[in-house]
Amino acid sequence: MPVRQVDSFSKIRADFEHIVGDVVYATMTTVDPEGRPRARVLLPIWQVVDGQLVGWLATYRTPVKVAHLASNPHATLSYWSPAQNTAAVDTVASWISNQDVKDTVWKLYQQGSPPGVGYDPAAYWNGGPHDPMYQVLRLDPWRVQVLWGRDLAAGRPASQWGSPA
């Protein structure tokens, strides 16, 4: 199915935030050093910084995630609802060690970003944003695609920002 390419994330931002806010949890797929995919369900948060979408993932630094991202930093996050509304985000992921950034991400999770997406990270990291087990991945999208189920049923294309490849 063809896609409708847009030249700015702002043109699909409202659709993206609505779908993400409705679905909340994403399936994140990474690839191991041998080229085999692995998926897991998690809850990233998103914000727009200087017109660009940036994702954040509060997470544990597991051996699997570390090995996958060291071999290939690309990750895809996929959202799907039973209404067939979908959002897919192709990203480059990087570990963040800057404590100020980690503090900011902690607060974004508490307030929800976008609205409806987030949680109190203290439920997982009792030591707060300085807990040594609390790690943050930055997710820099290079492609975002959104498709409403009603558009799929009508044969209308998905909307996509970023690289068409």
Rounded Cα distance between 46 and 52, Å, is 10
- pTM to 2 decimals? 0.95
DSSP for residue 121: G
> Which positions of the chain have pLDDT values less than 50?
none
Supply the pLDDT for residue 13: 97
| Residues contacting 87, CB < 8 A, separation 6+ | 15, 16, 19, 20, 23, 78, 79, 144, 145, 146, 147
Per domain, the residue ranges of the chain are 3-162
Q: What are phi and psi of 117, to 5 degrees?
A: -115, 115
How far, in Å, are 65, 69, 92, 116 from residue 34 at the CA level? Answer: 14, 12, 18, 37
Supply the pLDDT for residue 2: 82
Supply the pLDDT for residue 144: 98
CATH number of 3-162: 2.30.110.10
